[in-house]
Amino acid sequence: MRIVLVSRIDGNEALRYTAALAHDLKALGHGVTFEAGTAERLGKEGVAFEEITGDLVVIIGGDGSVLLTVHRMRKQVPVLGINWGEVGFLADLEPEEADAFFAAHRDGFSVERRMRISLYTGGRYLGDALNEAVIVTERPAKMLRFGVYVDGVASERFRADGLLISTPTGSTAYAMSAGGPIVDPKIEGFLLIPLAPYMLSSRPHLISTERNLEVSLETEKPAHLVIDGQSTFELERKARVTIRRSDDPALFVDIGKPFFEKVNYKLRNL
């Protein structure tokens, strides 16, 4: 297989592990290259995120490293995360499990497709989110007024510090911290969670991706839209954001661990 290695670069231990993993993968007969930032720290040649191709991308890092990689790849390649972070809901393998996994999967692996959401405003494409997009005020301690439209019908209006639009995959991330439910990633839906709403009656919604979903800003206050913590856009006053299921899902290696077993383990070991 052709494998690209991506490492977090803020610590030498992760880089040393990445170099050792590259040696082991080559010994198994795989072709190995490095992402450009990782390669620079290791003194090797590398490939930019946008130019990554091949059979597999192995990411040594936390969820932020996985989100960065998926966000910046021009063409989605199957990814496998080795947890070198705090919790790692998106990083399925622990470092001590990696050698056994690769030895048992020399000839390939199964892939799980994870829904992403595409975001537009004023007909302009902003990007795709694997975890979430969040709309927040540009000025701290100021509330925004939102309108939610489902199939063209106003379903709710509320005031809140912000609004989080999550995928099922993102339900174990920011959405969970904001009081949202854990959603099976096999369900395809948009999870909307008001952030610190003014009225307690403003509750999370899970909306089918078969429906047309739009969110409008109904105040004059400036706001930002942040996609997976990677890209930030300034929204115009009275902006309307359209949310759709992306035609380009993220691809994750299925390591054979049931989703809810993984969630239970992660939550009990925070």
Of 190, 195, 194, 182, the closest CA to residue 260 belongs to 182
Question: Cα separation of 115 and 134, whole Å?
Answer: 17
With contact defined as beta carbons under 8 Å apart, do 134 and 164 qualify?
Answer: yes
Identity of residue 236: E
Q: How many CB atoms lie within 10 A of CB 50?
A: 10
Burial 188-214 (b: 16+ CB within 10 A, else e): bbbbbbbbebeeeebebbbbebeeebb
Which residues pair with residue 47 across a beta bridge?
35
DSSP state, residue 185: T
Known catalytic residue: 24? Answer: no
Question: Cα separation of 12 and 170, whole Å?
Answer: 29
Per annotation, catalytic residue among 24, 63, 99, 161: 63
Question: Cα separation of 175 and 205, whole Å?
Answer: 12
Active site residues: 63
